[in-house]
Amino acid sequence: MVLADLGNQISSALANMSNSTIINEETIDTLLKEVGNALSRADVSLKLIIQMRKNIKEQLKLDAMAAGLNKRRIIKKVVFDELIKLLDPGVAPWKPTKGKSNIIMFVGLQGAGKTTSVTKLASFYKRKGWATAMVCADTFRAGAFDQLKHNATKAKIPFYGSDTDRDPVAVAKKGVDIFKKDGAEIIIVDTSGRHKQEEELFKEMKEIETVVKPDNVIFVMDSSIGQAAFDQATAFKNSVSVGSVIITKMDGNSKGGGAISAVAATKSPIIFIGTGEHIPDLDLFDASSFVSKLLGMGDVKGMMNM
């Protein structure tokens, strides 16, 4: 995972600042520019970067009043806090309830990794002892039914889908009803990939949401996504009630800034990251431990001792 690079770049920008003797408007601007570049290289939305730089500057103005406090320490803390704010929407992640059917619906752009992550998540809950099932409501993509069916067989998880019924709403409803009756505790519904420019497909997604009544909608996003992330994620959020985010393909070389944009757009926490193509390649995500890792614990401690 390369998000750590971002942490390194930011840490070194902060270190450079410590070495320069005077701290004035100019040093702060240089620092903010370097932090901004690091975030930009990681694909964080430019809007967010500008906002963050503004926030930091305002914070610093306020804190500058506090007499006797070490300026460098304050600057570091403000930068760290703003970073944490970007990754942590301050909402507790949704948790399934025992003894009922919890319905989870997956949505996202084409090829983001929904179908793969559906199986990974189902398998995660199965390992934890939940009665789990999967429904394929992607009746559009060629081979989608077979893809989830193969995965279901591999993971030994019950599965519903149809290779003749072309109506995703009907298939979703039927599958969910069947597994509810069976007493499944976790029912995960996979849907087709779509994007905001296709109104019809967004309407279809809402219809599926209406009939399956999900307890949680998970937005899946590819970690390599660039500046389009924010607008696309916002459109999904505005259309269905997204409650969580999964970021996929973190085993690649991308710095995952799209993740930050998705959190900002959906105001939903990242719950898992995908780290490979195999079923166990799913890691739990915790924003605060992630950020401290990102910035290196040493730095946080060092900051406190200054």
Partner 1 sequence: FMKYFQTLTGSRTIDNNDLEPILQKLKSHLTSKNVALDIAEKLVDSVGQSLQGKKLSTFQGVNSVVKQAMEEAVTRILTPKKTIDILRDVQAVRGTRPYTIVFSGVNGVGKSTNLAKICYWLTAHGYKVMMAACDTFRSGAIEQLKTHAERLNVEVFERGYGKDAASIAGEAIDYARATNHDVVLIDTTGRMQNNEPLMRALSKLVNQNTIDLVLFVGEALVGNDGVDQLVKFDKSLSLLADSTQTKVRTIDGIILTKFDTIDDKVGAAISMVYSTGHPIIFLGTGQNYTDLKRMNVKVVVKSLLN
- Check residue 224 for interaction with ligand GTP (CB under 6 A): no
Count of residues binding Mg ion (CB under 5 A)?
Answer: 2
Q: Using the rule CB under 6 A, which residue among 16, 110, 153, 288 binds ligand GTP?
A: 110
Question: Among Mg ion, ligand GTP, partner 1, none, what does residue 30 contact (CB within 5–8 Å per kind)?
Answer: none
Chain mean position to CA 68: 40
**Of 12-20, 35-43, 160-168, 271-279: span binding ligand GTP (CB under 6 A):** 271-279
Residue nearer to ligand GTP on the CB measure, 56 or 104: 104
Handedness of CA 19, 48, 84, 106 (dihedral sign): negative
- Using CB under 8 A as the binding rule, the residues of this chain from 258 to 277 that contact partner 1 are 258, 277
User: How distant, in Å, are the alpha carbons of 52, 249, 279 from that of 149?
Assistant: 44, 22, 14
| Rg of the chain (C-alpha set) | 22
Q: Which two tokens stand for residue 207?
A: 């219809």
Question: Among ligand GTP, Mg ion, partner 1, none, what does residue 150 contact (CB within 5–8 Å per kind)?
Answer: partner 1
Q: Using the rule CB under 6 A, which residue among 158, 276, 296, 302 binds ligand GTP?
A: 276
Spatial distance between the Cα atoms of 149 and 163, rounded to a whole number of angstroms = 11
| Among the listed residues 95, 174, 93, 103, the one whose alpha carbon sits nearest the alpha carbon of residue 132 | 103
CB of 119 to ligand GTP, least distance (A): 8
Q: Which two tokens stand for residue 77?
A: 């803390």
Spatial distance between the Cα atoms of 45 and 258, rounded to a whole number of angstroms = 7
CB of 212 to Mg ion, least distance (A): 16
- Using CB under 5 A as the binding rule, the residues of this chain from 106 to 165 that contact Mg ion are 114-115
Spatial distance between the Cα atoms of 179 and 154, rounded to a whole number of angstroms = 19
CB of 83 to partner 1, least distance (A): 18
CB of 113 to ligand GTP, least distance (A): 3
Cα angle, residue 170 at apex, residues 279 and 203 outer, rounded to 5° = 85
- Using CB under 8 A as the binding rule, the residues of this chain from 163 to 182 that contact partner 1 are none
DSSP of 86-151: HH--S-PPP-PPTTS-EEEEEEESTTSSHHHHHHHHHHHHHHTT--EEEEEE--SSTTHHHHHHHH
Residue nearer to partner 1 on the CB measure, 138 or 185: 138
Residue nearer to Mg ion on the CB measure, 9 or 123: 123
Using CB under 6 A, list all residues that contact ligand GTP. Answer: 108, 110-116, 138, 141, 144, 192-193, 195, 248-249, 251, 274-277, 281
Using CB under 5 A, list all residues that contact Mg ion. Answer: 114-115
Using CB under 8 A, list all residues that contact partner 1. Answer: 37, 40-43, 46, 109-113, 140-151, 154, 195-198, 222, 224-229, 231-232, 249, 251-255, 257-258, 277
